[in-house]
Structure 1
Amino acid sequence: MRLSVNPSRQNTEPGQEATFTLEVTNTSSVISGHQIRVLGLDPTWVQIDDPTISLFPDTSTSTTIHINLPVTLPSGTRQFVIEVESLTPPTETDQVRCEIVIPERTQMRLSLDPPTTTAGKEARVGVLVDNRGTGEVSTSLTGSDEPEQIAFSFEPANLSLQPGEKLLVSAILRAKRPWLGSPKLRSFQIATTSLGEGVIAQGSWVQNPRLSRGVLALLGLVVAGTIFAAVIAGSLSQVVDRSNANSTLALQVAQAAQTKAVTGTGSIAGTVDLATSHAPVSGVTVDLYQPSNLTSPAASVATTAQGTYRFSNLAAGSYDLSYTGAGFSELWYPGVSASNHAKPVQLRDGQRLTGVNISIGALPVSVSGKVTGLPATGATLALQLPTSNPLTSVSASATAPASATPNGVVVATTTLGADGTFSFSNVPSPETYQLVLTKQGDAPVVQTVTLSSGVSQSGIDLVLTPGNGVISGLVEGAQGPIGGATITATVGTTTISTVSLTNAPHVGSFTVDGLATPSNVSLNMSANGYAAQTLSITLAPNQHVTGIVVNLAPGIGSISGVVTTPTGTAQGGVIVTATFGSHTLTTVTASTGSIGSYTLGNLTVPGTYTVTFSRSDLLSQTVVVQLNATTPNAITTDATMVANTATLSGVVSESNGSGIGNATVELVSGSATYSVQTATSPTAGAYSIVGIQPGTYTLNFTRVGGLPISSIVTLTAGENLTKNQQLSPAAAITAQVVETTSGQAVAGAQIDLYLSSEYAPGATPLATTTTNTNGNFTLSNLQAPQSYLITVAYPPGSAPTTSYNVTTQEGVTVCATNGSTTTSSCQISIQVNG
């Protein structure tokens, strides 16, 4: 079985879908069934198109894995494992590791409670600060009003919120209180100081005068009763003071109810490493719980590339910690598998606690089984950590044949007896290992074993087969036999190497034995100053092939260069293949050091080489290079490769040029659909769709309440197409509120919006606004067509005086009174008392 996944690492915003394409190849000789599952992520986030597949021998199929991350997930790297288990004997399990990177995104929301308040010289308003982003935010609040007559202060003054955290701040407003006249309406706004424009909340303060009209009238009627009037005034003052005290108490109660229990100045930090090698583990989810609620974490973070994590802004108290990682069972601090055995971490007020460390994968299990087939006496069995080349070789000499040995980090080893049984104890789990069985003269055996947490495996069957195949011969050049040449024989995943003899009279002679038979052997010969050569030899059971004579041609030329993208970024991991006649040489561009560089040496000169550059995410390129005596080294054979996908980006805007946030941009072609929402900040209306397969698509732009626009676009591989689009305004409702008798504009009237089908007395409005100084209001960004009910109340907070039903139209502003698109004389008349 062979697995590949594309991509193995992906950047994904919370709330959006990440897709991974898994390709499974059946390398066995029988029809096999395979079960696919994802480890290390919440199962409710994962959907697999085809979790169970069947394959004929030497065939492949692909399935798509969809991962939908919760909107509240904090930033960081999440690692997970795609595991495929063969359901057909002999069963085997293989895994590929993947990563999802959640970028840090800042999103804050402010709301006032209440949005409108009535008070005298000082007013208190609750400001609910909601961190809807994926990273920690440190900020403060500021207040402003147009006449600049209000002084603002906030408790607390400085804020620090974790992702998903809410905090209620007390805003204190002070302004000079009028002695006489009508109540004064003061409009204000509260905003953050460090998150740019747009994070604001609007509010209104109705400030009562010290002596209202009612009090003056009462004083005029009872001029003679001065003492009685004083008593009444004192009583009224007590009522006002008691009302203010009650308002302050209610705000304190609301703040206490909404402030999270974990808010404070303490912190908890630590590291997560592997129990087997103590290497740091990134992408492990660490959840922090309060002991009174072990079902819902109070905070969650992911470990960094160095395996570290940290929780900030914690109050003094007791906390439990759980750790969940890709391919690992959940552990609770200090290393137990059940929450009821966890040891709470005690935190003092303001304490910065460090060293809360844990090692995962520490549950010991056993691995046992038996070797069958040929006699196992003297065979060596090793349990090692996985490696792509599980076997290496000991070179042959004139007296000793070559032999294969394990090539990974060996955890345990044993020498088998006549019965062939084996057992390894105290093996750390969960983990994936390779069992490597070697015996001189027999074919080496490699089998992968995947251990679940705390679950031992027994009954493992390893079959030892003959491996006494031999290939021998002579390596020579134009000047005679070549000593010290490297001969490498490859059978499947097993590689055995030796060198040709240098002592007379056997110079150039070589022997490679211990080869599995029957088999197809790839035999590669190379020597300094000569072009490498590869032969394919078929060995029958127990066959010894002798008399092989290999002539190596002079190879003093080379081809080298650098692979980049059109932006000049060097690209590692690109496969470079040079073909000359029946000879093929392959290398890979460097991923470290001189990234993107490559060299193919020891090439035959003269010669014409076809050089191909390929990588799964890039378009392949081919060039022809000629080497001759004048130019034996082609040192600037560079390649500029483009992506095999396209990118579409642009800005969606109004006719006045302002960007439109939260509009939908969609590419559709058959069953392929790409869809994104335009940004609200920092560039409103901006969008970008990446990873688009080349082809012709229908491009759709839509917004709530607006008219959609579609067009046809054709995208080619590597293309970065910019497509800007203007959309019609969204549906809106407008009118002017005037006084019935005088016809003068009414400023500060409260306008509430409801769905007509859902309206009921006491219902919460969908939106609320107030008329401006000219009595005008507009309710924008509405759905269309839709039937709405608007109500008008003056002063704000009083019972509505009138209401209208109106139906919106796509991309049109209509009159609130009759739904007409003619709004120049659209008025609502109300009776204003006193």
Structure 2
Amino acid sequence: MRILSTVALLEVSPGESVDLVLDVVNTEPVIEGVTARVIGMPATMVRAQPASLALFPDAQGEITLTFAVPGTFPAGRHPLTIEVCGSTPAARPVHHDVELVVAARPRMVLRAAPSMIRARKRGTFRVETVNRGNVPLDVALRARDSDRSLNTTITPSALTVAPGEAIVSTIVATGPRHVFGSDLDRPLKVEATTSDVEDSISLMLRQRPLISRGLLTVAILVGILVVWAAIFLFGIRNVLGSDPVTKVAPASFFAASAASGTAGASPAGALSKDGVVEAGVGGTLTGTVTAQSDLAGVGLITVDALRMSRTGMVVVSSAATQSDGTFTIAGLFPGRYYLRIGAEGYDTLWYPATPTETGATTVRARAQEVSDPASMVVTGHPASLSGTVEVGDVLTPVVTTVVARPAWSGADETLEYTTEATGDGTYTLADLPAPGTYELTFTAEGYQPATARESLVGGQSRFVSDVRLGSTPGQISGMVTDGVSPLGGVVVSTTLDGRDITVGTPTLGVVGSFVIPGLTTPGTYVVTFAKEGFGDKTVVVDLTAGQSRGDLVVSMADGVGTLTGRLVDGAGKGLGGAAISVGGGTTSTTATTLTSGDVGAFTIAGLASPGSYTLTFTLSGYQPQSVPVDLAAGEAAAPIRVTMTAALGSITGQVTTDRQPVLGTDVVITNGAQSWTTVTSSEAGSAGIYTLSGLAPGTYTVTVSLGGMVRATGLATVAAGASTTRNLETTGAS
């Protein structure tokens, strides 16, 4: 195979593509399916058209390679090697070197979520600086507000962002005190500048007043009502204060008398004096039960109306509060009643606000009237929230912070309850004021935050649905050196989800730097560094969730070579499991031939070059074999083929009587210390022939017995790896 292309330099801008046309000539005597691949660049960034080029012997064709360079690919000169190979086993690949020059394109974007925060005085924003270019950026952040009323701090305000990396800065904006009125918008602009590019983003701090307009209006209306009520009471007292007290009850409330002629019976329309009466006739008590925690109405609270009897306090009627906390007790005889509220998870309370009947105040029920609402504030027992946070399969425990913040109107915005999930992801937030609604926030380093909203009643222990945190992609970047200076042209590769990812270090610009982006986290990656004339280097990198390792520094030693080859027997069959020892030079190492796949193949890396070595192969059943090898500096050694000779031999021969083969008779072979027995063959074509293999070199006695009598004997000498023939003619057969 031969490549006719003379193109050695390709220039491309980030985010664009460039084509390279290769003229290929088939120099093989067979029809070849020619393919091309690029070494030094991820396969996902290169497309070959056609994928396989069919060429007759001595025919010429074209393969077009399209290089699609992403926007974050490092700027500089990237050495690439194009390998063209045929499909037949005997085809040898050919290579063509080309340099890919990627222009520098600095790009930067600011992101914030959320961009508007509503608070009384202080708001905390998270602004993310994203490097969407292909060169590192030294970024300076600053914040400006048009009316200069905000005090802002940025942490960090100066940062270095690698290509494809995103760094979060915290911006705390504090406004002046805002007492009365409606919400006040205070715009804030964050600017990011570098030597090449700049960007900005607008934020908004919406300040809430300490006293809202609605609350101020309510206070004024209440004051007006209080003044009006005082004037009304003052006037009534002056007009009616001298009138005698008058008590009037309808006749239906009294039992019938004998004078009425209806002794023993109640008059028409008379009402019972026990229990409750009809709702439209008796009195009605109403009111509202609210929670001390969030000042919202509380449902399912039992409200009892009690009165004092000769035997003590008795319950006359009961009702339960609605979801908004209101209650109605109808059908009460006119008179005064005590109100008592309570439920599981709440403290018992007597109207208006006492834990026992001592100090309680009565309310009056009037016939066919609805009383003024009686308001009571109930205290709920502390509640708890429990659940589980899932972060996926990780090698080290992930610390997840769970924060609960009150979500009801008027709640203290600085109040929060915090805990950390245990190693198995479980958490519990205890002693939460209840009833109330809470907003839960789940955060862990390297994971996207999650939120949930849960409502609690008094004394409740609530289990929250499992929360799963999603991790963000990570990347591995760093610098490759030769021990002193940055080293360009190094092929850097790893594996992601079964796919090979390969990048290279540039030879110009940021020499020796590399970036492997878009890696799934958490995960463990084996990163390999290779360059001709240098020893391969392998580094294992563990990435936690969302982690981007940018501090990897790899030093590669020059003058290191690799030996490859295959060990076979005399028939050309691969021999696996053979021990290889390397002697000579300054290196001493061992290896083993492969027992599966390409059986007998071996690779010995890390040998200093130039140097002379002796490879010694040992394998049970074979004679040791030594091979001298020379390594030249800067050159790859050609694969070697080593043949081992069997260390054992065999004896074969034919047993005859009167020149006729003797079938199925025993043949005993011994060396004086051990004996082996075999039988002559009875099959056509091999009649009378015996064979015994696996014998160590030496002299053996071969004996044939017939009818219990020795009929023939002879000596045979066995050599290593050889077969000795010893025919025997028996005599005196019966």
Q: Give the TM-score normalised by the residue count of structure 2.
A: 0.40
> Which of the two has higher C-alpha Rg?
2
Q: Which has the higher contact order (CA 8 A, sep 6+)?
A: 2
